[in-house]
A and B are shown apart, each in its own frame.
Chain A
């Protein structure tokens, strides 16, 4: 069987809370990253606070509706981002959130590769029927990346976001199991 946690550019990992907290706190200090990844106001938290949250999740133990991965580049083994999956167990739907915190790895296919692993994991391991995500209108790089990973734009909530005095839409994307299976078999969906 194929290695579910290894792509062409990245691998999915579980990192120790100390390292995760240190890197994630550093990424959060990049306000552009924060605004691309998150709809809330850019806010700073200490390494310590972030470590506490991570440890709390660890203590809660395995939950079948929540999966978290860190992302490492294969070439230099650098920790570059994270990936979270939330399952609606009853409806077999996965919601995914991804962030590549290391700027030097933006726009080079690392996020797309991680997202492909995530979609494969959702369909082949979690038994999902669809994978959903949301993104901001002002993040065209992410839109293109998600399209490459197989997502289709399904709708938009108009002017949901305000940044720097301008209003932006929030985009909603999804990929269905059948579409993804067809792509795997080399067919055009």
Chain B
């Protein structure tokens, strides 16, 4: 079998609280990154803050949470993180969250590659039936990336977000195992 944690541009690696918190303390100073990633107000935080919350999250239930860091294959550089959170076991549905903190790696397929890996992991390893995500209307690059990975538009929460005096929708996207199988097999 193939290495299911290795793609064409990136590989998925274990979350190391110290490493990720150091990187995140830098990434979160980039308010654009924070706004693309999170619907809450962009906030700053120390490395120690982040490390504590990462360690706490790692204590959560292992099976509900499949969380990885993303590294480039070429330089083995830490680029971001991606997590699959099973929200409904009977329905076998998980939310996926993805962030590429390193700006130099935006728009070049790294995120899409990581998403492809997590989808294979979700459907072939955790045996899920669907994967769901939310993305903000003002993030067309992410929307395109998710479409490329096979996600379909399923709905939107209208005018949920308030940024720079304008209101934006939050979009819901999803992909079913059968759809993913058709795309990849």
Contact = CB atoms under 8 A, between A and B. Distances in A.
- A and B associate: yes
Interface of A: 63-65, 87, 89-92, 125-127
Nearest to A127: B90
B91 A89 contact: no
B92 interface: yes
9 contacts: A64-B63, A64-B86, A89-B63, A90-B63, A90-B125, A92-B92, A127-B89, A127-B91, A127-B92
Contact of A64 (B89, B125, B126, B127): B89
A93 to B, nearest CB: 11
B24 to A, nearest CB: 29
B64 interface: yes
Contacts of A65: 63, 89
A63 B86 CA distance: 12
Please classify the interface of chain B as helix (H, G, I), strand (E, B), loop, or mixed, using the class held by over half of its residues.
Answer: loop
B127 A90 contact: yes
A87 B61 contact: no
Contacts of A64: 63-64, 86, 89
A92 B91 CA distance: 11
Nearest to B129: A127
A92 B127 contact: yes
Contact of B126 (A63, A87, A90): A90
B89 A87 contact: yes
Given A90-B125, A126-B89, 10 more contacts: A63-B61, A64-B63, A64-B86, A64-B89, A65-B89, A87-B89, A89-B86, A90-B126, A126-B90, A127-B91
Contacts of B127: 90-92
Nearest to B128: A90
Contacts of B61: 63
Interface string B51-71: 000000000010110000000
A33 B43 CA distance: 60
Contacts of A63: 61
Contacts of A87: 89
B63 A125 contact: no
Contacts of B91: 127
Interface in B124-148: 125-127
